[in-house]
A and B are shown apart, each in its own frame.
Chain A
Amino acid sequence: MSNRKQQPDMKRREFLTKSVIAASTATIAPGVLLTTADANAATKAASSNTRWGMLIYTNKCADGCSSCVSACEKENGIDLVKKPEGHSDAMWDEQRPQWIRKVKLKDTQTGMVSNLPLMCQHCEEAPCVDVCPTGASFKRADGIVMVDRHICIGCRYCMMACPYKARSFIHADVAEQVVESPRGKGCVEACNLCANRLDAGDGNTACAEACSKEGHNAIVFGDLKDPNSAVSKVLKQSHSRQLREDLKLNTAVRYTNV
């Protein structure tokens, strides 16, 4: 064996080193850049100086009206989720996603009837956020509880934990969807107070807007932390309550006359 061969092959070593550096950079860089980009977007969009919430006047919520439900379905592309071919209607009714629903109640003692829309209550101490193993179920700085659909594994533990049955699981393939509200089979989702609208600077949700358009004005939406917002003002004057107050979740959605 010659002396020359015992020397390390510097060119080869250099090539390998450079390749490793290049590969590492290519792997890590997009992650770093994306994270930075994400963080910027998030700080701009959601601030803890804001807490989005709403008051629902159940006495103004009209029997038989479901304009809030239709508006939500249109806004978030829920109406685009179609029943799989040949599947039973009854079964699909229990499997299709619903972010907001109308509920009609009767007092068992007095017989008084009330109507109200029910959706994610955006709890301050959200049980769905507590139980989610991956952190996919999370609360934004501005109090909106939502699902990061990139890391939801579809375990449905949040659905077991939610006291309001506010969440839906996507049971089938989704052919069409809206850009603002992407969804995929096998993940959980729920009302996000039209976060896309709020982030774009529109200070109202689709359901509240639709309710006003119908002339009922049963939903008042706004920033609970801003004392001058419409919702804060009416909350100060009305006797409102939270659903399942006993759980002490401090919900962002409040109701009158329930």
Chain B
Amino acid sequence: MEKINYRELGCESPRFWTGMGVMAFLILLALVSVYHMEHNGHYVTGMTNQIVWGLPHVFAIFLIVAASGALNVASIGSVFGGPMYKPLGRFSSILAIALLAGGLMVLVLDLGRPDRLIIAMTKYNFKSIFAWNIYLYTGFFVIVGFYLWAMIDRKGKALYRPLGITAFLWRLALTTGTGSIFGFLVAREAYDAAIMAPMFIIMSFSYGLAFFIITLMAAYWWDDRKIGDVRIAKLRNLLGVFVAAVLYFATVYHLSNLYITQHHGIENFILLEGGVYTKMFWIGQVLIGGVIPLFLIYSPAFSASRFAVMAASVLVLVGGFFQIYVIVIGGQAFPMTLFPGKEVVESSFFDGMVNSYVPTLPEAMLGFGGVVVAMTIVAVAARMFPMLPDSLEDPDSI
């Protein structure tokens, strides 16, 4: 096999620093939003006692889910012995770390008391999946950090495979934990389903790979490096399988709910009469995030088009965002059944009513700030460390 040379991402300083400047400005906007929300309290957001998790949670969960999926490319290279993926391992790892950091930033800064983070780090209730997640998230940073080191430093060569396997198992546990945040909520009809955990894992495969393809192609375009057609085709096909699998899991989730009479209300809400949530489900999640990307990936008309791969990846992310929005916000908007067989005539606490939620600008800026933080970490790391191979031209013998 040909020797692979890794090199820092090259580009002229003014261009790099302008990019950094724009990102720093967006991060500053996110921090101003946090100050606004924390100084005044959450009343300045669209969140209420009915919709307790809002747009920041959608961004945070989206990024955390994508983070574990972004590591997949490295795992395929080291755990499953895919030679075409191996050179991409370093970039895959740093992207995973960056996305997780961005997601956690949003999650923490949306707490009612982010100043008490130290309490979350020192006091644990081990029956809470949230408490487990704190370990799973910090462990992910440490393990993937070592994994990255083993990929870069010759001294770590012996540990490369064991660390790769550990990281792979850890990322599965991490996404199981994230999915279980919802799976363990017994009271809400939209959640309380064991399928949540594996569904989140498959969602992570899809979103993570989409993030990976976008950032990889952008980096190679930026530095005028080459990616071979076979490599692109492999990534494209893999994305196709993942997108189809996400659709499959969504179908099974809704079909099993439709079988259970008790869950007909929530299904009717999401699939038919939920207004904005129904539109987000059919147009956002299914059409934009599923059907169109599959068409772009598998249609012979686009088989040689790199633009189609890029567009499909972007659409997978847009659709994925809608999917998480429907799960997090849609699941809360639908009223809990407190009194089966009864209709709530009056309540000062909006019992039995569909809850409304209109996100505010600060929430959106905080959430988007998480994406920008992730991209900044990737850009700085790729610029300073040899993360990406000089060339990803197809090897002579495949």
Residues on A facing B (Cβ under 8 Å): 69, 84, 87, 91-98, 101-109, 113-114, 118, 127, 129-135, 151-157, 159-165, 167-173, 185-188, 243-244, 247, 258
Contact between chains at B128 and A131 (CB < 8 Å): yes
Tell me which of B124, B125, B184, B341 contacts A109 (CB under 8 A): B341
- Within B329-369, the residues touching A (CB, 8 Å) are 332, 336, 338-339, 341-351, 355
Contact between chains at B130 and A157 (CB < 8 Å): yes
Contact between chains at B43 and A133 (CB < 8 Å): no
The residues of A that contact B49 with a CB separation of less than 8 Å are 94-98, 159, 165, 167-169
Contact between chains at A103 and B111 (CB < 8 Å): no
Tell me which of B116, B129, B187, B351 contacts A244 (CB under 8 A): B187
- Given contacts A160-B185, A165-B349, 14 further A-B pairs with CB under 8 A are A94-B350, A101-B351, A109-B341, A127-B186, A129-B127, A131-B130, A133-B125, A153-B119, A155-B112, A161-B186, A171-B41, A171-B42, A186-B42, A244-B338
- Given A133-B134, A156-B53, the answer on whether A243 and B112 have CB atoms closer than 8 Å is no
Contact between chains at B111 and A154 (CB < 8 Å): yes
Residue B117, interface by CB 8 Å? yes
1/0 per residue B317-334: CB within 8 Å of A? 000000000000000100
Contact between chains at B186 and A153 (CB < 8 Å): no
Tell me which of A107, A135, A159 contacts B125 (CB under 8 A): A135
Output the nearest chain B residue to A130 by Cβ-Cβ distance: B127
- Interchain nearest-CB distance for B121 vs A (Å): 10
- Within B287-344, the residues touching A (CB, 8 Å) are 332, 336, 338-339, 341-344
- Interchain nearest-CB distance for B291 vs A (Å): 31
Contact between chains at A94 and B112 (CB < 8 Å): no
Contact between chains at B113 and A108 (CB < 8 Å): no
Contact between chains at B53 and A160 (CB < 8 Å): yes
Tell me which of A69, A92, A160 contacts B52 (CB under 8 A): A160
- Interchain nearest-CB distance for B383 vs A (Å): 35
A165 to B49, CA, bound (A): 8
- Within B124-179, the residues touching A (CB, 8 Å) are 124-125, 127-131, 133-134
Contact between chains at A104 and B48 (CB < 8 Å): no
Residues on B facing A (Cβ under 8 Å): 38, 40-43, 47-50, 52-53, 111-114, 116-117, 119-120, 123-125, 127-131, 133-134, 181, 184-188, 332, 336, 338-339, 341-351, 355
Output the nearest chain B residue to A247 by Cβ-Cβ distance: B186
The residues of B that contact A188 with a CB separation of less than 8 Å are 112
A109 to B116, CA, bound (A): 49
Output the nearest chain A residue to B332 by Cβ-Cβ distance: A160
Output the nearest chain A residue to B45 by Cβ-Cβ distance: A171
Tell me which of A103, A134, A162, A247 contacts B347 (CB under 8 A): A103
Contact between chains at B48 and A133 (CB < 8 Å): no
Q: Is the interface of B mostly helix, strand, loop or mixed?
A: loop
Output the nearest chain A residue to B123 by Cβ-Cβ distance: A134
The residues of B that contact A95 with a CB separation of less than 8 Å are 42-43, 47-49
Output the nearest chain A residue to B351 by Cβ-Cβ distance: A103
A131 to B332, CA, bound (A): 17
Contact between chains at B41 and A172 (CB < 8 Å): yes
A244 to B131, CA, bound (A): 27
Q: Which of B47, B52, B111, B181 has the most CB of A within 10 A?
A: B52
The residues of B that contact A155 with a CB separation of less than 8 Å are 111-112, 130
- Given A92-B43, A130-B127, A153-B119, the answer on whether A103 and B344 have CB atoms closer than 8 Å is yes
Contact between chains at B351 and A165 (CB < 8 Å): yes
7 A–B contacts from the bound complex (CB under 8 Å): A105-B345, A106-B343, A113-B345, A154-B113, A160-B185, A169-B49, A186-B41
The residues of A that contact B343 with a CB separation of less than 8 Å are 105-108
Shortest beta-carbon contacts, A-B, top 9: A154-B112, A186-B112, A163-B187, A133-B130, A94-B48, A104-B346, A171-B43, A172-B41, A135-B125
The residues of B that contact A94 with a CB separation of less than 8 Å are 48-50, 350, 355
- Interchain nearest-CB distance for A37 vs B (Å): 19
Contact between chains at B43 and A132 (CB < 8 Å): no
The residues of B that contact A243 with a CB separation of less than 8 Å are 338-339
The residues of B that contact A91 with a CB separation of less than 8 Å are 43, 48
- Interchain nearest-CB distance for A99 vs B (Å): 10
The residues of B that contact A114 with a CB separation of less than 8 Å are 342
Q: Which of B43, B48, B113, B184 has the most CB of A within 10 A?
A: B43
Contact between chains at A134 and B42 (CB < 8 Å): no
A104 to B344, CA, bound (A): 6
Contact between chains at B347 and A127 (CB < 8 Å): no
- Interchain nearest-CB distance for B252 vs A (Å): 24
